[in-house]
Structure 1
């Protein structure tokens, strides 16, 4: 691989992923706030209702850039390393593996951000703590693993199935477009493919997202409190049935359909632009 190709592999997805992540997070943050409040154990209105729907935005805005950039660098690098050695029919498995590598790396940044963001989103009162204060308090009272990185496993387990679905579906839809468009995929077409893939993946993984939200919002951690995905989902099912497991599905699906359109559209547009200049 020559120097130019190495730059394309790392620089293009790095900058394109950063731009895509910032764009979608800034645009869709209110829907994410509403979804979090709907999923909260305290209830929608007790955690703020429709008020202060941009609370916690700073935590997302300052970390969405490195998170998305890291994800796409890992995704594109893994994909470029494996695809040349794999038959065409096995490409979806490469996309799944590449997405998994990207998600695990991205969660190192994403989880502390989610902790600070979601506790801000559901805090009722005027004296809202800073992101750093929230994480520092979590560290002092509950430690590093159970405080700052609480919900790491549930977040990874939520995001891995999501990526297993979204990225291969996005790539598959783009392949279909290429086959019917003289081998070309425009940024708009990529955005539409991303919207379909994002909405579908979001709907299927709603229960995992709900469990992650409940775990992250829980106050305190004790040995007898089972803050694990299965017990949390079992408890929700016993209280509210199947409908309860899909609480927040409409704002989640809507958010990811719009988000997928913006995210993948911006990503492919910026990536193509950078590659054309190199």
Structure 2
């Protein structure tokens, strides 16, 4: 997930037309930027997933079919990013207060957490299908989606929801204030990379839960149980499997996201001013 909390202020209590245009432009730009990051860095995500898979990197596909699962990521990326932005902005507005600035980080953390809870309603089904396609490149995305619904029902698409929300909420708390573009790019890359490395065990647990065989203990979605299982069989190296491609993807994602976000936002605002 890119650094998507920058440059977004809480909407005022009453919208003017220009405020509404700016708010909509920011949210659409965030969605477009999210899609750009997901598609450009998809190969790194595939490598990370295969490194974390229980069958091991080579059996999961190695470097073959590196774009397996990309349709699922492409379909889910925009609505996922938009859902986060809309919820994040609404909660910030709802919690708006004139109290001391020391409460601002708390407000941003709560807004980010709420945004992740809502966004994960879209992200998790997309992630489940994507990750299964990544470790089974010979299967088509729609075939995997249909098979999940047939064998596990709708709950199969939400396997790993708790671990995903926990991982994303912890990751998103790193950004608690609005900063300049260059600060966002540099600080976001370093902070995002560090947060990505620290939360890798949660990402491993999420991957194992999503890829686990239906009916197994891991498939039940217990995060601590999944973490313990990885620790017992693979130790510390297993808990941090895929840490390098994950850290690289998120660090690079901050720069790509910022560029795509600013370009799209500027274009939309310019078009908005030109329209009557």
- Displacement of 1:221 in angstroms is 1.7
- Displacement of 1:215 in angstroms is 0.4
Find out whether 1:191 has 2:185 as its counterpart.
Answer: yes
Alignment of 1:31-50 (within 5 A): 31-50=44-63
Paired residues in the alignment total: 259
Alignment of 1:148-159 (within 5 A): 148-159=157-168
Residue of structure 2 in register with 1:261 after alignment: 255
Distance (whole Å) between structure 2 residues aligned to residue 33 and residue 122 of structure 1: 8
Find out whether 1:205 has 2:209 as its counterpart.
Answer: no
- Displacement of 1:6 in angstroms is 5.0
Distance 1:49 1:210, change over 3 A: same
CA contact under 8 A between 1:19 and 1:65: conserved in structure 2?
yes
Residue of structure 1 in register with 2:72 after alignment: 59
Secondary structure (helix, strand or coil) at the match of 1:42 reads coil
Alignment of 1:1-278 (within 5 A): 1-4=14-17, 7-8=20-21, 10-125=23-138, 128-131=139-142, 133-145=143-155, 147-165=156-174, 167-168=175-176, 171=177, 174=179, 185-186=180-181, 188-222=182-216, 227-271=221-265, 274-275=268-269, 277-278=272-273
CA contact under 8 A between 1:226 and 1:232: conserved in structure 2?
no
- Displacement of 1:81 in angstroms is 3.6
- Displacement of 1:199 in angstroms is 0.9
Structure with the larger helix share: 1
- Displacement of 1:62 in angstroms is 1.6
CA contact under 8 A between 2:209 and 2:218: conserved in structure 1?
no
Stretch moving more, 195-204 or 82-91: 82-91
Distance (whole Å) between structure 2 residues aligned to residue 88 and residue 8 of structure 1: 27
- Displacement of 1:115 in angstroms is 1.0
Indicate the RMSD between aligned Cα atoms, in angstroms: 2.2
Distance (whole Å) between structure 2 residues aligned to residue 33 and residue 124 of structure 1: 10
Normalising by structure 2, we get a TM-score of: 0.86
Distance (whole Å) between structure 2 residues aligned to residue 79 and residue 268 of structure 1: 21
- Displacement of 1:8 in angstroms is 4.2
CA contact under 8 A between 1:13 and 1:76: conserved in structure 2?
no
